Amino acid sequence: MELKSLYQGSTIELKHPLAGPQALDLTALFRSIRPTKQEAANAALRAGLIDYDRRHGWRGARSKVELPAEETAPALEALLDEAVATGSLTPAVVLKVEPRSARVYVRGSGFAEIGWEGLSWARRKQGKGLGPSPKSAGEIIARGDLIHVTSELAEAKPGNATTQPPAQRSLVFKLAQIPEASAALVALSPNDGAIEALVGGFDYFDQANGKFNRAIQAKRQPGSGFKPFLYSAALDNGLTPSSVVLDAPFVIDDPNMEEAWRPENSSGDFGGPTRLREALVKSRNLVSIRVLQAIGMEPALTYAQRFGFERTSLPRNLTLSLGTMSTTPLQVAAGYAVFANGGYRINPYLITKITNQQGRTLVETPAPVLNESMRAIEPRNAFMMSSLLQEVTRSGTAARAQATLKRPDLYGKTGTTNDSMDAWFAGYHPTLTAVTWIGYDTPRKLGDRETGGGLSLPVWIQYMQTALKNTPIAELSAPAGVVYEAGDWFFTEFSRTTGILGLGMENKSGNSELPAADEKKRILDLFKN
């Protein structure tokens, strides 16, 4: 037997000989996982995938089965015995279809009804779009269809919430299907790197795809989720949140790129002179490109390594500003942890102790303590970035976070890659960093209107609702070396009058002339918010 797992930032291997006096019998692995947070992560990710899947139409029943002559519970249980259960989805067979409901047998639960509320979402896929909304249950399913269902507790009867415990409430069943898209969620403590929740897909026990852990193995483009690392470098190079950068189209002839590049903002418009703070809040692509130009490619690449990104994974052209490298959700989480903990680079770990069958400890390492040898960025840089990322969750592309969770101590950034193939949200509270990703294992478009803010952010919010329960509000204190002037924060040496005041205004960064209307339509919308 061979065991591999994350341990203090590294992969460890324990080999178990099948026989011999030196055989190693592992009986206990002590992990950093928090059961409550892990359950919350499982539930949030599955709910997000199911919700996304329903928006994109009903693909039909899994198969057709021949019902037994006598439709008794034992006979129907036997019929469903080989059916696949996955994640939160349970196999069921359709027995009778009414105009607006269906009678089914659910494995392990017995006979049940699916009402119209649980069926009406199932618009048939039609070409690249969806057909009309169904008018009856018969348009969706038929007798003998093998399907999957989700279940939830019925709401307590009015005025009876205190006297009707969950055990006495009935289950409400809804039609479902196994999602085609995949997802990942990883949450860790930014103060020591302990992984508290880790979900690598919809169902670990899925025979085809369950063992592929997308949280630590899937390397995908983070899109705009990479911009905070670039902005962090910008702060160390003289820019301030009040620096004005030109948000206007231009053409880049980069020798490292095959053809001229005409990037655009996801909204298709151009904001003109834009403050750096506003540019991150609204995720303006053209501003990020000009920021990278100002920093320089080599300094930017070197700076990104501070957050744990491998230099070989980083493109050596201006698309770096839009997050075109390949990385894992775990790596992104470790990078954002630097902002959350005041500037320290941590190594995520999962295993805290290993014992043998006699109870003897084989391996044990105490949680690391943050120290200056782990310093990646200055405390003031981390503070300033948190100030910017807090604005994203308050009024920007992730404003739903603070609005839903009703707390100001949330920080993060959405990310959506080219053609909406990857949807991300990376965010944190000072005590917890969490990253969510949704996409297809074989990259393909998630949908024209699918973004990190619409797909991954709700998963993050649902998880944080449980993970931060009873956690007090944590206000950040300004460290040494910063000053508050004219409504914003500045490094002491880069005040609103001495830092870099603007970029691109002199029209030296590419060709900043506005294109004609017909050309504007052809400009590549490379990356979205």
Strands 482-485 and 182-188: unpaired
Q: Which residue has the tokens 């949330």?
A: 410
The pLDDT of residue 465 is 98
Of 176, 211, 228, the position where a domain reaches its end is 176
Boundary-marking domain end, from 122, 154, 176:
176
> pLDDT tens across 125-166, in order?
888 789 999 999 999 999 999 999 999 877 655 555 445 555
- pLDDT of 440 above 60: yes
Distance between terminal CA atoms of the chain? 45
Give the C-alpha separation, 90 to 287, whole Å: 48
Q: What are the structure tokens assigned to 511, written together?
A: 């060709």
- Tally of domains in the chain: 2
Q: Within this chain, do residues 271 and 166 fall inside the same structural domain, yes or no?
A: no
Final residue in a domain of this structure, among 116, 142, 176: 176
Cβ neighbours for 393, distance < 8 A, ≥ 6 positions apart: 399, 401, 402, 410, 411, 412, 427
Indicate the pLDDT class of residue 455, thresholds 50, 70 and 90: very high
Can you give the residue range of the structural domain that contains 108? 59-176
CATH code at 424?
3.40.710.10
Q: Are residues 369 and 507 in the same domain?
A: yes
Of 28-32, 144-148, 247-251, 440-444, the one with minimum mean pLDDT is: 247-251
State the DSSP string of 389-448.
HHHHHHHSTTTHHHHHHT-S--EEEEEE-GGG-EEEEEEEETTEEEEEEEE-SS-----T
Q: Supply the pLDDT for residue 165.
A: 55
The predicted-structure confidence for 357-388, as pLDDT tens digits, reads as follows 888 898 887 889 999 999 999 999 999 999 99
pLDDT more than 90, % of the chain = 68
- Residues 235-261 have a mean pLDDT of 78
Average pLDDT of 313-323? 92
| Residue type for position 406 | K
Position 66 pLDDT exceeds 90: yes
In a domain, 527, yes or no: no
| Residue 409 CB coordination number (10 Å) | 20
| Residues 260-284, mean pLDDT to the nearest whole number | 76
Same domain, 378 and 422: yes
Give the model's confidence band at 34: pLDDT under 50 very low, under 70 low, under 90 confident, else very high. very high
Residues 188 and 83 both lie in one domain = no
Give me the CATH number covering residue 155: 2.40.50.140
Pairwise CA distance, residues 471 & 465, whole Å: 10
pTM above 0.85, yes or no: yes
Is residue 15 a part of any domain in this protein? no
Band (pLDDT 50/70/90 cuts) for residue 3 is very low
Instruction: Supply the DSSP symbol for 349.
Output: B
Q: Which of 265, 267, 269, 266 is nearest to 286 (CA)?
A: 265
Is 50 part of a structural domain of the chain? no
Q: Residue 529's pLDDT is what?
A: 44
pLDDT band at residue 28 under the 50/70/90 scheme: confident
Among the ranges given (133-147, 228-242, 257-271, 412-426), the one the predictor scored with the smallest mean pLDDT: 257-271
3-state secondary structure of 312: helix
Express each pLDDT in 380-433 by its tens digit.
999 999 999 999 999 999 999 999 999 999 999 999 998 899 999 999 999 999
Say whether both 118 and 210 belong to one domain. no
CB contact at 8 A, 294 and 386: no
Q: Is residue 198 very low, low, confident or very high in pLDDT (cuts 50, 70, 90)?
A: very high
pLDDT reported for residue 497? 66
**Domain shared by 92 and 134, yes or no:** yes
Local confidence band at 340 (pLDDT 50, 70, 90 cut-offs): very high
Lowest mean pLDDT segment, chosen from 21-35, 295-309, 460-474: 21-35
CA distance 379 to 475: 15
* Residue 258 forms part of a structural domain: yes
Check whether residue 221 and residue 157 sit in a common domain.
no
- Do 149 and 216 belong together in one domain? no
pLDDT at residue 184, rounded to an integer = 97
pLDDT at residue 488 above 90?
A: yes
Q: What local confidence, expressed as pLDDT, does residue 65 receive?
A: 95
Residue 167: the pLDDT is 53
Looking at the fold, whether 288 and 325 belong to one and the same domain comes out as yes
| % residues pLDDT > 70 (the chain) | 81
Place of tokens 């979900």: 199
Rounded mean pLDDT of the chain? 86
Please report whether residue 44 resides in a domain.
Answer: no
Identify whether 28 is part of a domain. no
> Per-residue pLDDT for 10 more than 50?
no
Same domain (yes/no): 202, 164: no
Across-strand partners of 424?
415, 437
Asked whether residue 39 is assigned to any structural domain, the reply reads no
Question: What local confidence, expressed as pLDDT, does residue 372 receive?
Answer: 96
Does 147 fall in a domain?
yes
Q: What is the pLDDT of residue 6?
A: 56
Residue 95 confidence class, pLDDT cut points 50, 70, 90: very high
Task: Classify residue 232 as exposed, middle or buried by CB count within 10 Å of its CB (0-12, 13-18, 19+).
Answer: buried
Give the confidence band of 14 by pLDDT, cuts at 50, 70, 90.
Answer: very low
| Same domain assignment for residues 196 and 154 | no
| Residues 253 and 149 grouped into a single domain | no
